[in-house]
Amino acid sequence: MEVNAALGFAAAGAISFAAIGGAMAQGKAASVALEGIARNPAAADKLFTPMIIALALIESLVIYAFVIAFLIKPAVG
């Protein structure tokens, strides 16, 4: 029972750190892209696609952590 509790805390910690880190990284990426567009509106088309790709890659890392958190914590029942 103690091992299951430790695994539960490990899973919760993994997903919470991943969610916080992902949110901060996405906020920073969007902020820098919008700042670049504000400085040079003509570059909006060139900044938009790399920003969307970066946001997707950041989100995929959070989803990987979510999957690993479920793999760490076995089903209790």
All domains of the chain in start order, with CATH: 2-72 (1.20.20.10)
Which pLDDT tens digit goes with each residue over 29-74? 999 999 999 999 998 889 899 999 999 999 998 899 888 888 877 6
Higher pLDDT, 27 or 68: 27
Band of pLDDT at residue 77, cut at 50, 70 and 90: very low
CB atoms inside a 10 Å sphere around CB 38: 9
pLDDT at 76 over 50: yes
- Reading the block at residue 32, the tokens are 């820098």
What is the identity of the amino acid at 4? N
